[in-house]
Structure 1
Amino acid sequence: MKSSRSILFLLINTFLFVMCLYVSHIRHNSKNDLNLQILYLEKPLILNDSVVNKLLTQNLSGKLLLKKDDLDLNILENQMKSIPEVENVEFYIDLEKNLFLSITERKPLFKVESSPPYFSDSNGILFKYKSLDSSGIPSFKTSSSTLSLGTTAEFIKNLKADVFLNNELETIFLKNNKYEIKLKSYDFKIIFGRPTSVRKKIKKLKVFCAYTNIRDSANIYTKINLSYDNQIVASTS
């Protein structure tokens, strides 16, 4: 009888000891838990809290554990910066154990018409296309499969720096290393040529567009070529 009581007493004490360890572990983890708050430096077009949390889970090895003792902010930042949709990030923790993720989204400058389609930013970096109100985002088309987009991105950025073209630019084509562009409000084809003397060519284009606005006879032209110095070559075929 005494032996049975001793065993029961030992089991109860063991159970209580294990429970104390478990509660202590839970409390310790609770103290180290961090609340993640996501801050966007500008209003995002593609990212949101749900997408960012999903990207964190996908791009970090294993489950993301927001524990103060285990967290390496440099690793988190480097992992997040490797995500194409993210241009820049910064992690920091305040005194109240809040983990802040300050994030700058990569801005789409133009859409690359490919299969599947992509967005490109002003540096020619591609990231996943998402359907959105892209009325201000022109499309880029080319037959080249090995093209580096850096030059094209710089060219489109220079075009969109002009207020008129920022509103009118619809499509950019690259054929044999020469650019053609299509505007929203004008039907004629525009041969831009190589991406040189961009400001001069834009000025000539705006003069021709203004001319077609006041002269109905100018609407017979189906193509203009801006690649010649100090002149615009317009043709009807």
Structure 2
Amino acid sequence: MKRINWHSIRLLLIIFAMIFLYSFSSKRNSVRKINKIEIKFQSNENMFLTHQMVNNLLIQNLGDASRIQKDKVDLNTLENALNHHEMIENAEVFSTIDGFLNVRVTQKTPILRVVSENDSYYLDHKGNRMSLSLNFSARVPLLMGELSKEKRKAYLNLFTEIKKDDFLNKNITGAQIMPSGNVVLTNRSFDYKIAFGKPINVRKKLKNYKAFFHHAIKDTLIKEYKEINLMFTQQVVCKK
């Protein structure tokens, strides 16, 4: 009489049980409805958007989340809808097994505010336009007049470098692009103009200005200067 291999039978029963439990949990998970939307901003530096604004964008593309099954949610569509918003740099949307819809939002960072005759808006480091926000006002240089897309790249490099430096970001408050293409900057602390010149040798010129300022601030004569010329990369020329 052939002996029954109980070890093999137990192994088969365990496999069938695992398959059954997996199918059962998958079935329950597929019919589970979204019961909560959790929105997190990756940085609190620039709060142009609020949680409610992001939630409204989701509702426009999702509808009533409490009535939607998890497997019916198109995560790519939601991400694309958020990423097309002019204030959002990047958005990630994912769901969890407990029915949570998680949204991670990285907002764009403006480096310049442009004020023209008919409009006012921000530009980020890529040259993307951002409308002004009622929730937050960024401390960036104010550029009077238009900045054409054709000539935008070189000038954006200048304002990106200003934004990256804590001292320059606080000190430089305004800019004007002359017909010649030269840039004239204004500062927060004194009345002098900064003749930057063309947006070339940017880091060297900005380094020269920082060195000049930290040295000149110790001298009362700084209040008498009318212009600080940075066009000559080997020296800073001051005019009274």
The TM-score bracket by the shorter chain reads 0.7 to 0.9
Unaligned runs of 5+ in 1: 1-29
For residues 46-100 of structure 1, give each alpha carbon's deviation from its aligned partner in whole angstroms, at most 9, with x where no partner exists. Answer: 1111111223345x3xx62432243211111111111111111111111111111
Contact 1:212 1:219 in 2 (8 A): no
Unaligned runs of 5+ in 2: 1-30
Please point out which of 93, 96, 100 is paired with 1:98. 100
Q: Please give the alpha-carbon distance, in whole angstroms, between the structure 1 residues aligned to 2:71 and 2:164.
A: 48
Q: Which residue of 1 aligns with 2:140?
A: 137
Please point out which of 72, 75, 78 is paired with 1:76. 78
Q: Please give the alpha-carbon distance, in whole angstroms, between the structure 2 residues aligned to 1:179 and 1:221.
A: 18
For residues 168-214 of structure 1, give each alpha carbon's deviation from its aligned partner in whole angstroms, at most 9, with x where no partner exists. Answer: 11112222322111110121001101122122212322343245423
Matched, 1:192 2:196: yes
Secondary structure in 2 matching 1:214:
coil
TM-score when normalising by structure 2? 0.73
Q: Please give the alpha-carbon distance, in whole angstroms, between the structure 1 residues aligned to 2:231 and 2:200.
A: 9
Please point out which of 210, 215, 219 is paired with 2:219. 215
Q: Which residue of 2 aligns with 1:64?
A: 63
- Structure 2 residue identity aligned to 1:76: L
Q: Please give the alpha-carbon distance, in whole angstroms, between the structure 2 residues aligned to 1:132 and 1:169.
A: 23
Q: Which has the higher contact order (CA 8 A, sep 6+)?
A: 2
Q: Please give the alpha-carbon distance, in whole angstroms, between the structure 2 residues aligned to 1:130 and 1:141.
A: 19
Q: Please give the alpha-carbon distance, in whole angstroms, between the structure 2 residues aligned to 1:101 and 1:135.
A: 24
Tell me by how many angstroms 1:36 deviates.
1.6
Secondary structure in 1 matching 2:173:
strand
Tell me by how many angstroms 1:31 deviates.
4.4
Deviates more, 1:156-165 or 1:214-223: 214-223
- Structure 2 residue identity aligned to 1:125: N
Contact 2:115 2:146 in 1 (8 A): no
TM-score when normalising by structure 1? 0.74
Tell me by how many angstroms 1:147 deviates.
5.7
Identity rate, percent: 26
Q: Please give the alpha-carbon distance, in whole angstroms, between the structure 1 residues aligned to 2:168 and 2:155.
A: 16
